[in-house]
Amino acid sequence: MDDTMNIYKEFFKLPGEYKAKFYSNDINKSCRLCSSTLAYDTEEFHYWRDNFTHHCYPLEEYIMTWPNKPTKYREVVSEYSIETRKLLYKILDMICKGVGLEKGYFEGELSKTNVISVNHHIPCPNPSLTLGMPVHSDPNLITLLQQCDVPGLQILKDGKWIGVQLIPHAIVVIPGLQLKVISNDRFITPVHRVVTHAKEVRTTIGVFLGPSPKSLIKPATPLVRTEPEFRAFTYPEFLKTFTAGAKCDAQFALNHFRNKA
């Protein structure tokens, strides 16, 4: 975990000319660096954030698109992505046990897309003027988040923003919107945001597992008593509704696919 965090801290210190090769707002680019959000040109406010993201699975398909600097990048990040994927499957199997689904229910198409997304926030002279990341819920299946030793992540609970505690080497697990749908509304997908820090640089590593574009998402049959809470959809259909108007509005997207009572 420390090696990977150090690799990313070094990556962001590399000269701008090297990092510029990765700069893109094209969602179809599998490895890209951007500032604020992907909707940079249309968003109402900009956010105090640089983000570096790339696909990790299948490794052989993507590793050549990754940076080769710092020199150990590919070695360290490939091990990290393999181990975090294994950990995510263990957590998903515990979830299966908890809600009453067969082991391995989420394996295959429902979790094929595996992305690493690293946020980097340089010190912000006036944190009251901007956020490091907008208020949002993760649209994917499940997320693992490794924080560094600088606070910033907050979740919304009972109308109040609560800072997520920093525990060295602890990993934050965030249930995504697809887990809410597949569990037929048993899971809460937390609303969260990132605030900036006036003095310290903050770097976090997120590992996102999500459905493949072709998988059909619907509430798992064993968890439906009478009517499913949501109708079936594909992940691209969901993302299109979620990002409509550059809003990333979870309630809007969920309501769009919710079966009315």
Ligand X SMILES: O=C(O)CCC(=O)C(=O)O
- Residues forming contacts to ligand X in the complex (CB under 6 A) are 117, 119, 133, 138, 145, 147, 152-153, 192, 194, 204, 206
- CA nearest to 246, candidates 42, 100, 54: 42
- Reading the block at residue 252, the tokens are 């809007």
Least Å distance, CB 222 to Fe ion, is 28
Q: How far is the CB of 147 from Fe ion (least distance, A)?
A: 12
Q: Does the bond joining 58 to the residue before it have cis omega, within 30 degrees of 0?
A: yes
Choose the contact partner of 55 out of ligand X, Fe ion, none; CB within 5 to 8 A by kind. Answer: none
CB of 227 to ligand X, least distance (A): 31
Q: Does 139 bind Fe ion (CB under 5 A)?
A: no
Mask for 119-138, x = binds Fe ion (CB under 5 A):
-------------------x
Specify the residue, 144 or 217, whose C-beta has the smaller distance to Fe ion. Answer: 144
Q: Which CB, 55 or 192, lies closer to ligand X?
A: 192
Nearer to Fe ion, 50 or 138 (CB): 138
Query: Per-residue b/e over 195-218, b at no fewer than 16 CB within 10 Å?
Result: bbbeeeebbbbbbbbbbeeebebb
State the minimum distance, in angstroms, from the CB of residue 136 to Fe ion.
6
The one of ligand X, Fe ion, none whose footprint includes residue 117, by CB under 5 to 8 A per kind, is ligand X
Beta strands in the chain (DSSP E): 31-35, 50-55, 113-121, 131-136, 142-146, 153-157, 160-163, 171-175, 192-195, 202-210, 216-217, 233-234
DSSP 47: -
